[in-house]
Amino acid sequence: MMGPFALAAFFFVIEFCQQVHGSRCDLYKGKWVYDASYPLYNSTNCPFILQEFNCQSNGRPDHLYQNYRWQPTSCNLPRFNGRDFLRRFKGKRIMFVGDSLSLNQWLSLTCLLHTAVCRAKYNLQRIGGLSTFSFPAYGVSIMFSRNAFLVDIVNEKYGRVLKLNSIGSGQLWEGADVLIFDTWHWWLHTGRKQPWDYVQDNKITHKDMNRLVAYEKALRTWARWVNFNVDSAKTKVFFQGVSPDHMDSRDWADPTAKTCRGETLPMISMDYPGGPHPAQVVLNKVLRSVSKPVHLLDITALSQLRKDGHPSAYGYGGRRGTDCTHWCLPGVPDTWNELLFAALIQS
């Protein structure tokens, strides 16, 4: 028999599904609203948040960035229910594959679930580039596979080669019940931050090439991998939209600022002055070519409105650096996971 909280969650899900299917609600169109019942967890109660995302621990003096909830225009987004999530995915393996923005979302989900069942035993294991967070009592594993480009980087005699047509690590992804992919952040790095020396397109090796073109070629390789390797009856596939940075205040039409540093409020407008993210335009085009079902977790536009949500001077580097790329936890990635939860309910 359901308890009162489980019963309330059940009827909320039913109402939500009726709203979505009845009105074709777009969960990604809406605005940020202040909600004193947020955040969904406290950073002090989530012992495994990495220092670079733990803005309160790093001395951030303001708190309002934690108190905003995403409100779709035509329906309501279900509040994340960790117990319901764990019941639904009992015995399942959920894997995030991508860069540090994927890590941001993975850590958010582990915090959301740990808070929901704070007395439940959990295991956290890191082996190489694979991190696994599991609840033995539920048989649920939440994994993160570090893979910034999705395609391979191979050490050759003449240097490190980014191979746009090769996915050797795909074997690790097979068998997961839910896959959430992400890539973009590392595609523009140059100099010492660039983790490859050459880029190979089919059999032609270049010293460099247009990064958006390379990004699209890699995504098409990933799309072919999905088409040939994913059994849609067993595995649900998501792609995390491009997570925006806020390094240039001209993008949000504020001549008084320079970067996200010092920003404490989201944009009230539903439209972002900087317009669509160019990488998201490419991603949308590639996703239309995938024959297997892939759900776009379309977080780009709503995250563009959150210039206040980054670590800024309260990340790992402290006041020596400014991080306008990643996100504080609690914060924006919690909403990404509420949207993920809603998409899983729909499917």
Strand positions, DSSP E, the chain? 30-34, 68-72, 93-98, 123-127, 130-135, 140-146, 152-156, 159-163, 178-181, 198-201, 204-206, 236-240, 294-297
Pairwise CA distance, residues 30 & 344, whole Å: 20
Question: DSSP states of 103-156 as a string?
Answer: HHHHHHHHHHHHHHTTTS--EEEEETTEEEEEETTTTEEEEEEE-SSSSEEEEE
Pairwise CA distance, residues 243 & 318, whole Å: 22
Beta bridge pairs of residue 159: 156
Q: Is the CB of residue 237 less than 8 Å from the CB of residue 226?
A: yes
Do the strands 140-146 and 198-201 form a parallel or antiparallel pair, or are they unpaired?
Answer: unpaired
Q: Is 295 a catalytic residue?
A: no
- Nearest Cα neighbor of 90 from 132, 131, 135 is 135
Q: Is the CB of residue 28 less than 8 Å from the CB of residue 298?
A: yes
Q: Is 289 a catalytic residue?
A: no
Annotated catalytic residue within 152, 246, 326, 334: 326
Q: Is 63 a catalytic residue?
A: no
Secondary structure (3-state) at 212: helix
| Cβ neighbours around 288 below 10 Å, total | 9
Q: Is the CB of residue 214 less than 8 Å from the CB of residue 187?
A: yes
Angle, nearest 10°, between helix axes 100-116 and 332-346? 80
Annotated catalytic residue within 62, 100, 177, 251: 100
* Catalytic residue set: 100, 323, 326
